[in-house]
Amino acid sequence: MAFVEKTGMHRRHTHLWHIMAALASLAIGYFMMHRNTSDREDVKRSFIVGECFSSVILFTFAFAFYFGMTMWVTFVAGIVMFKNLPTHTFGHIQSKLFPLYFLIGAITGLVMFLIAIYSTRNVEELSKEQTTLLVCTAGIFFTNLANGMFVGPRSTAIMFRRHRLEKECENKSLLNDNAEYKSLNKRFGVMHGISSLLNIFSLAGACFILYWIASQLASQK
């Protein structure tokens, strides 16, 4: 049971996820194959978010959108909902929120990565900070892609199976002795842990990008 329901958010976005993954792979392959270092002088600059105003503002917008969204969902909205909503209501809202959350994260991560890698196509040797920036932007894309396509749908499916058992069982104290329920709890804990780790790695990458942008602005003085 990879998806929650036939008309659920995960199922409706399935084809979009696969199309985006295919396009991302083609785009990354194209830029990597066309890195030409012979037609220009080596460009040794640290500010690699774009070669023109439009690419710089697009990179900055994508980062700001992702960073603000992630901080809000992770440290504000999620905690407030968890503490104030019934468990099943909280789970239902998360099942609708997370597909879009991961989709937006993957799109913004891909935008940042493509702009960064395109801007360094003529650089013969990347600095440590440039390499880290490329790794972080790629990490944001791939962690959100993994969460959106694999980890998220499976953890949500397990959660709804738990909810069904909880609704069907009149005596809640007997649930702890239910082998299926215990197995679902264990599986959900593993999947939720993996999803949280991926989100933390992605957020750590975003924090480095924030540091990198701040250091670039400070160096312009």
Mean pLDDT estimate for the chain: 82
Spatial distance between the Cα atoms of 138 and 109, rounded to a whole number of angstroms: 7
Cα–Cα distances (Å) from 76 to 69, 80, 119, in that order, read: 10, 6, 35
Task: Decide if 212 contacts 129 (C-beta within 8 A).
Answer: yes
Q: Which tens digits make up the pLDDT trace of 62-117?
A: 999 999 999 999 999 999 999 999 999 999 999 999 999 999 999 999 999 999 98
Domain residue limits, the chain: 51-219
Residues of the chain with pLDDT under 50: 1-11, 33, 36-46, 48
CA proximity to 155, closest of 103, 181, 183, 194: 194
Q: What angle do CA 43, 115, 219 make, to 5 degrees?
A: 55
